[in-house]
Structure 1
Amino acid sequence: MSPRRKSSASHTPKEFAEKLVRDCRAIMMCPWYMRFFRTRLSPQKQSVQEFVTTAQGHRLSTSVGGVLTGRGADYIIIDDPVKPTDALSDSIRKAANDWYDNTLFTRLNDKRTGRIMIIMQRLHEDDLVGHLLEREGWEVLSFPAIAEQDETFIVKTAFGSRKFTRNLGEGFILTGSR
C-alpha cells in the first residue's frame, strides 16, 4: 500500500486493533524496511491507535463501533465485526450493521476508488456480510474451513494473478495446540 494512502482498520476487540498498529509501526522502524522504503513515521502523530507517515498517509485502528468521526480512508479493513459469542444477539448484529451503514462507509474518501475488505467467518444470515450482500456489489472470496470439492482460486494482486488450489477435504482447521 502506498505510504500516501490513508487506511483504517476495525477489529474486535480494541486491544487487537492496537496490537496491529504497534506491529505495523515496529516493521516500519526496522532497518530492512528503512533500506527499501523512504517514507518514515511522522513525529507529528503517534498514538496507540494511529500513526501518520511523512508522506501524509496514516493508519488508524479502532474497534467495531468505535469513533471514526473526521477520519477519511482510502482503504478500510473490517476484521471479525462481531464476536462468535455475540452472533445470536439481534441487537449486537444490528449495531454492527448500523455502524457500517452510518459511520464506516461514510469515511471512504472516494466511493469509486476506495476499497473495503471484510474478513470474517459467517455466523448468522444477517451478520455484516449478509447485510451487505443484500444491497451492494461485492467481490466475495469465500474459503470454507474444509473444501467441499476441488477448488481453484485466482486472486489478483499488484504483482499479478496468483493461483491457489485445494482438494476435496483439505482444510484450514486449527488443532487444539494451535
Structure 2
Amino acid sequence: MLRYEDLVGVFGPTLIEPGIAWYFDMETSRTCEGDEQSWPEANAFREDGFIQTYDYYLFERVERHSEEAAKTMMENVRREVAGCKPRDPDSSKGMEVFASDLAGDESLLVGRTGDLTSRWLFVRQGELVAQVGIKGIDPAEDQRIAERTAARLCASIDAAC
C-alpha cells in the first residue's frame, strides 16, 4: 500500500476511512450504458487512502488474484473504457485511456473523456492489481504515483521488479 512518505508534498496526513472509496466500476456504471464486464473476484484485498478535501484525495485498493485473473482484470479495464457508450450522449462523456505502461508489469491511467481532475490508475505486478482513485491531484504527479505504487507491490511480493 502507498504510504504517506510516498506522497509527501501531495497530501496532508489525514487518512480516509477504509471502505469510503470511489471505484472505477462505480463511475463507469454512472457514465456508461450497461456494464457487461465480469470482474474477477479477489482472493484478498486491502484499501486505504489519503484525503485533503472531498475534491482532493487518493484512495488505493490492492487486490490479490491468480496471475491470469490479474491480467484479465487489466484487460477488462481496457474493454470497459473502449466500449463505454455515454448514458446521455448530449450531456455526458465517455471514457478514455490517458496513459499506459507507466510502471509495473502493466499499468493504465483512465478516466472520463477530457477530464483529468478524476482518474484511475491501475498497476499490475504479478498477481497483484492496485486500483488508485485520484481526484484533484495535479496530473504531473501520475508518473510518480504509478512508480511508487509498483514499488510497493514489488515489496509486498518480495520480487525483483
> By the TM > 0.5 criterion, same fold?
no
Which fold has the larger relative contact order, with Cα–Cα distance below 8 Å and residues 6 or more apart in sequence?
Answer: 2
Larger Rg, first or second structure (1 or 2): 1
TM-score, normalised to structure 2's length?
Answer: 0.29
What TM-score, normalized by structure 1, do the two folds share?
0.27
